[in-house]
Structure 1
Amino acid sequence: MATPLTAARLVAALKAEGCTVHEVAGWRTNNRNHKGPWGPVHGVVVHHTVTGPGTDVVGLIFHGHSALPGPLATGCITKDGVVHLTGNGRANHAGGGDGDVLDAVIGESYGTYPPPTHEHDGSAGSVDGNARFYGWECENKGDGRDPWPPAQYLAMVKATAAVCRAHGWGSKSAIGHLEWSDWKVDPRGFDMAGFRRDVADALALPAGRWEGEDPMPQYVNLGAAEPYDLAPGAWDSVEFTAEWTDETGDHATGGSVFARGPARFGGTLSLHIDGLPAGAVVQARMTEYEDDEQRVDHPIHEIVGTGGGTFVVVPVTKRVASGRSMRVRLLNQGAVPVTVVSAVLTVLVWKET
């Protein structure tokens, strides 16, 4: 049992834990305290927003919508890892849940997972979660495929650890919405047991010291779905019209971008070119863009024709800065068109925070 943190203490705790904090105008007086109690508090509930690109997700969590007025959480954690504070007090996020889960959270007495929930908002035995939990709404489509960028996941762990540390709680005071209400599935795309282990690791260190484990790279495997002609005399971006795997989510369908910064990557582009005369040259290079504006050309790799089918593996290893994207371009230096029979890109991408 704990008295809720003041706005000033919450901000201080988040910053001490290493979070990038954005205080949305008016958040300190934005709450639902006039509709029910706020406190005593016992833990943190993690949610996903079920929103995609183009949504003013921070505004949505601050204001709510016609069916559910805001704030919809204490804060909204966006994909760039910023913690946007949207509510100070009671918020419409947890709803009704299972009292057995609440007891297990209060006592931090469960094993890997809390006991199964059998209640939801409005069910006969439910208890009011909005009075008892802070809430983080985390930007994600919620389809189980939308990736959780490392910067965002780190911020989610740090923000949760900040609240737990400020109250003297352990990691088992953090639960997912699906562990509170049997109507809910969020957050999808990671396991809450692993999330709690990361919160525990953060709490085991002084505030602000935890930066996660060395990230596993994300796998990207793209290609050209059909052969195409490469005319002579002009640089042309390889359009990756086949997307087999895109764990980063950086490739737009049918587009030429395969990585967006800040990130490091390493891999290969395997090319099969027909019609390139013996000794004739096709050049390949990586090029950085900001939006659709070309910014930096990287060194050229020359592909020399063999007279029949020409097969080559081009290395693609580089770092791309924040706000920029990377493409591969080809230049046919011959006098006649050649056919790019296949282009297969395979890279591992390490996203930077």
Structure 2
Amino acid sequence: MSTPLTADAFVAALRAEGVNVVEVDGWREHNRNQKGAWGPVNGVIVHHTVSSGTDASVRLCYDGYAELPGPLCHGVIAKDGTVHLVGNGRANHAGGGDPAVLNAVISEDYGDRPPATHEHEGSAGAVDGNAHFYGFECINLGDGADPWPDAQLDAIERVATALCRVHGWSAKSVIGHLEWSDWKNDPRGFTMPSMRSRVAARLASGPTVYRPASVHDAMGSRGYQPFPGAGFFAEGTDSAVITAMGRRLVAEGCSAYSEGPGPRWTGADRDSYARWQRKLGFQGADADGVPGRTSWEALKVPYTG
């Protein structure tokens, strides 16, 4: 059971897991929070869109339709593995589901599959899944014949792993819509036990353990330097924090230093940090070499006191 991630922490967690993220304009404020609770969150639900074409599918999931307004998920996973973010907060994706499934996800104590679901949207015993799950729609016709490219399956694995890792969940917090509602059959074309096995393997081997400040308070006491603010990184700043940052940039293969990093902020620090921003997937003005909270928390600079 966890507090939902902020938009910045959400993006950083995905990028830290190697996800190719596209932020659709307006996604950070796009939600259905006025219609009900958002959080605590307990897991991730995987869907298929029953549509084709990236642009049309992303627009559908962003806008929704008359009977079901958008966002219809938090992210749309395209055939090429790109994840298009369309919502931040409560989304119309899960609907009603079985409380026994929710309890099994929370406790993470089931076997190969969660218990069979016997509830759906509008049934007497259903629980509101839109309050408790992140949702990802994967572009697929859902007919059992439309292929699932390796890049798309890899992206599903990475997205699910990123959220499990940041919240401290196991792979058993990742379920399919068909495991939540007895009305649904998605995703169709691969099995959720096989996807959970992939997520579990990535969690076990993953080199990146990312814990943003929005999830764990007092980051400094846990060994990481809190974000000092963008204004800290200016000409004349002389601090052990700059040295610690530079050493992490070198370790990440992002060095633009002719000599080792030092305590005074220089152009080499800015050039090195811009390389780190680009490594995370930032572009243009977002990769200008001035640290922001998202990229800083992903860098995990050791606490200097």
State the TM-score bracket (shorter-chain normalisation): 0.5 to 0.7
**CA shift for structure 1 position 115:** 0.2
2:140 aligned partner, one-letter code: N
Q: Given that residues 18 and 208 in structure 1 are in contact (C-alpha distance below 8 angstroms), is that contact kept between their aligned partners in structure 2? A: no
Q: Who is 2:196 aligned against? A: 196
1:57 aligned partner, one-letter code: S
Structure 1 segments unaligned to the other structure (5+ residues): 210-353
Q: Given that residues 18 and 207 in structure 1 are in contact (C-alpha distance below 8 angstroms), is that contact kept between their aligned partners in structure 2? A: no
- Rate the CA distance shift 1:195–1:124 in 2: closer, same or farther, 3 A: same
Give the whole-Å Cα distance in 1 for the aligned partners of 2:138 and 2:45.
Answer: 11
Q: Who is 1:38 aligned against? A: 38
Equivalent residue of 1:130, what SS? helix
Equivalent residue of 1:11, what SS? helix
Give the whole-Å Cα distance in 2 for the aligned partners of 1:53 and 1:3.
Answer: 33
Q: Who is 1:104 aligned against? A: 104
**CA shift for structure 1 position 64:** 0.6
Deviation by residue 1:75-108 (Cα, 9 ceiling, x = unmatched): 0000010011110000000000000000000000
Give the whole-Å Cα distance in 1 for the aligned partners of 2:87 and 2:167.
Answer: 18
Percent of aligned pairs sharing the same letter: 63
Q: Per residue, is there more helix in 1 or in 2?
A: 2
What pairs up with 1:1-150 in 2 under 5 angstroms?
1-53=1-53, 56-150=56-150
**CA shift for structure 1 position 120:** 0.1
Q: Given that residues 48 and 142 in structure 1 are in contact (C-alpha distance below 8 angstroms), is that contact kept between their aligned partners in structure 2? A: yes
- Rate the CA distance shift 1:189–1:88 in 2: closer, same or farther, 3 A: same
Runs of 4+ in 1 over 3 A off after TM superposition: none
What pairs up with 1:163-312 in 2 under 5 angstroms?
163-207=163-207
**CA shift for structure 1 position 65:** 1.1
Q: Given that residues 73 and 93 in structure 1 are in contact (C-alpha distance below 8 angstroms), is that contact kept between their aligned partners in structure 2? A: yes
Aligned residues: 209
Structure 2 segments unaligned to the other structure (5+ residues): 210-305
1:66 aligned partner, one-letter code: A
Q: Given that residues 54 and 78 in structure 2 are in contact (C-alpha distance below 8 angstroms), is that contact kept between their aligned partners in structure 1? A: no
TM-score calculated relative to the size of structure 1: 0.58
Q: Per residue, is there more strand in 1 or in 2?
A: 1
1:32 aligned partner, one-letter code: R
Q: Who is 1:341 aligned against? A: none
- Kindly indicate whether structure 1 or structure 2 has the higher relative contact order, using CA contacts under 8 Å at least 6 residues apart: 2
Q: Given that residues 171 and 196 in structure 2 are in contact (C-alpha distance below 8 angstroms), is that contact kept between their aligned partners in structure 1? A: yes
Larger Rg: 1
Task: Say what the alpha-carbon RMSD is for the aligned residues.
Answer: 1.3
Q: Given that residues 43 and 105 in structure 1 are in contact (C-alpha distance below 8 angstroms), is that contact kept between their aligned partners in structure 2? A: yes
Equivalent residue of 1:45, what SS? strand
Q: Given that residues 54 and 139 in structure 2 are in contact (C-alpha distance below 8 angstroms), is that contact kept between their aligned partners in structure 1? A: no
TM-score calculated relative to the size of structure 2: 0.67
